[in-house]
Amino acid sequence: MVQTGIDKLRHKAQFQRGLDQSVVARSPHFALHGASSPRIDPAEPRQIGAVIPKRWAKRAVTRNTIRRQIYQAWTDWCHRLPCGTHVVRLRQPFSTNQFTSATSSLLRGVVRQELNQLFAQRAQS
């Protein structure tokens, strides 16, 4: 297996370490936690975690759709971001009146656009 230096967080302790870091970028629905000072160590892995609370996304299909969009956007942006652990946290719900289907292409598009803005904001800092 080829090691790309990109890993998903798997354990509670890893998520807690990521969430203990400061918020480095925000969007209307998401917050990105990460180290406030970029570390330039190419050997250090880039790790990503997604926290989607049931409080903000009641249905599992909605949480999974958002999580998949986070990981897909991460693969597009990870090499432009600093090394280290990052955690994307959903901080507000998406309107169920506007997005009636949990897997609609409209919801996926809005989530992807917001994540791109979030990662671009982080890349510029």
pLDDT recorded at residue 29: 97
Q: What angle do CA 105, 108, 112 make, to 5 degrees?
A: 140
**CA neighbours closer than 13 Å in the CB half-sphere of residue 61:** 7
Look up residue 100 and give its amino acid. Answer: T
Residue in the block written with tokens 């901080």: 91
pLDDT tens string for the chain (125 positions)? Answer: 344 546 899 999 999 999 999 999 999 999 999 976 666 566 678 899 999 999 999 999 999 999 999 999 999 998 888 888 999 999 999 998 898 888 899 999 999 999 999 999 999 97
Neighbours of 61 (CB within 10 A): 11
Q: Which parts of the chain are beta strand (E)?
A: 6-8, 23-26, 30-33, 46-51, 84-90
CB contact at 8 A, 86 and 39: no
Q: What angle do CA 50, 75, 79 make, to 5 degrees?
A: 110
pLDDT recorded at residue 33: 97
Q: Furthest-apart CA pair in the chain: how many Å?
A: 45
pLDDT recorded at residue 13: 94
